[in-house]
Chain A
Amino acid sequence: MSLLKEPDFGTPERAGAATVDVEIDGIDVRVPEGTSVMRAAALAGVEVPKLCATDSLEAFGSCRLCLVEVAGMKGTPASCTTPVRSGMTVRTQTPKLAKLRRGVMELYISDHPLDCLTCSANGDCELQDMSGVVGLREVRYGVGEGENHLDAPTDSSNPYFDFDASKCIVCSRCVRACDEVQGTFALTIDGRGFDSKVSAGGNLFMDSECVSCGACVQACPTATLEEKTVVDLGMPNRSVITTCAYCGVGCSFKAELRGDELVRMVPYKDGGANEGHSCVKGRFAFGYATHPDRQMKPLVREKITDEWREVSWAEAIGTVATTLRDIQERHGATSIGGITSSRCTNEEVYVVQKMVRAAFGNNNVDTCARVCHSPTGYGLKQTFGTSAGTQDFKSVDKSDVIIVIGANPTDAHPVFASRMKRRLRQGAKLIVLDPRKIDLVRSPHIEAEFHLPLAPGTNVAMINSFSHVIVTEGLVDDEFIAERCEDFDEWASFIALPENSPEALAEITGVPAEDVRAAARLYATGGNAAIYYGLGVTEPSQGSTMVMGMANLAMATGNIGRDGVGVNPLRGQNNVQGSCDMGSFPHELPGYRHVADESVRDIYQELWGTPILPEPGLRIPNMFDAAIDGTFRALYVQGEDIAQSDPNTKHVFAALAALELVVVQDLFLNETSKFAHVFLPGTSFLEKDGTFTNAERRINRVRPVMKPKTGKHEWEIVADIAQAMGYPMHYDTTSQIMDEIALTTPTFSGVSFELLDRVGSVQWPCNDAAPLGTPIMHEEEFVRGKGRFMPTNYVPTKERSTRKYPLILTTGRILSQYNVGAQTRRTANVVWHPEDTLEIHPHDAEVRGINDGDRVTLGSRVGQTSLHARISDRMPVGVVYTTFHHPVTGANVVTTEHSDWATNCPEYKVTAVQVGLLSAQTEARASQAAVPVAGS
Chain B
Amino acid sequence: MSGGLPPHVRLANEIAIQFTHLSRADAESRIAKHLHDFWEPRMVRALLAHIDTGGADLDPLAAAAAEQLRQPA
**A residues adjacent to B (C-beta < 8 A):** 334, 363-364, 494, 541-542, 545, 586-587, 594, 596, 615-619, 621-622, 625-626, 628, 631, 648, 651, 791, 793, 795, 896-897, 899, 901-904
Closest to B41 in A: A615
Residues of chain B at interface, number, CB under 8 A: 23
The 0/1 profile, CB within 8 Å of A marked 1, for residues 5-28 of chain B is 001001100110111111000000
CB distance from A382 to the nearest CB of B (A): 11
Is B37 a contact partner of A616 (Cβ separation < 8 A)? yes
Partner of B37, one of A542, A596, A793, A897: A596
Q: A616-B37, A902-B15, A904-B11 are in contact. Are A626 and B21 (CB under 8 A)?
A: no
Most buried by B among A596, A618, A622: A622
Contacts of B1 in A (CB 8 A): 628
With contacts A651-B2, A791-B21, A793-B20 known, is A901 near B40, CB below 8 A?
no
Separation of A363 and B39 alpha carbons in the complex (Å): 11
Given A626-B42, A897-B2, A904-B11, A594-B21 contact (CB < 8 Å): no
Q: Complex Cα distance A325/B40, Å? A: 21
Closest chain A residue, CB of each to CB of B7? A625
The reply to whether B38 and A587 contact each other, CB–CB distance below 8 Å, is: yes
Cα of A375 to Cα of B2 in the assembled complex, Å: 22
Q: B39: nearest residue on chain A (CB-CB)?
A: A616
Q: Is B72 an interface residue (CB 8 A)?
A: no
Determine if A897 and B3 form an interchain contact, defined as CB atoms under 8 angstroms apart: yes
Q: Does B43 contact A (CB under 8 A)?
A: yes
- B39 and A902 within 8 A (CB): no
Q: Which residues of A contact B21 (CB under 8 A)?
A: 494, 791, 793
Alpha-carbon gap, A102 to B22, bound state (A): 80
A626: chain B residues at CB < 8 Å are 42
Collect the chain A residues with CB atoms within 8 Å of residue B7's CB. Answer: 621-622, 625
B40 touches A622 (CB 8 A): yes
- A394-B57 Cα distance, complex, nearest whole Å: 51
Are B40's CB and A618's CB within 8 A? yes
> Are A901 and B18 also in contact (CB < 8 A) when A616-B38, A625-B7, A631-B42 are?
yes
Contact of A902 among B22, B38, B40 (CB under 8 A): B38
B14 touches A901 (CB 8 A): yes
A517 to B15, CA, bound (A): 31
- State whether A617 touches B3 (Cβ < 8 A): no
Tell me the nearest residue of chain B to A544, going by C-beta: B18
**Contact between B37 and A587, CB atoms less than 8 A apart:** yes
Smallest Cβ distance from B48 to chain A, in angstroms? 14
Q: From A332, which residue of chain B is reached at the shortest CB distance?
A: B42
A618 to B36, CA, bound (A): 13
Residue of A nearest to B44 (CB): A615
Cα A6 to Cα B47 in complex, Å, equals 62
Which residues of chain A are near B34, meaning CB under 8 Å? Answer: 902
List of A residues within 8 angstroms of B14 by Cβ: 541, 899, 901
CB distance from B22 to the nearest CB of A (A): 8
* A795 adjacent to B11 (CB under 8 Å): no
The 7 closest A-B pairs by CB, nearest first: A897-B2, A625-B7, A793-B21, A901-B14, A618-B40, A615-B41, A901-B18
> In the complex, which residues of chain A have a beta carbon less than 8 angstroms from the beta carbon of B20?
793
Selected A-B contacts with CB under 8 Å, 9 pairs: A587-B38, A617-B40, A619-B38, A622-B7, A648-B2, A791-B21, A897-B10, A901-B15, A901-B17
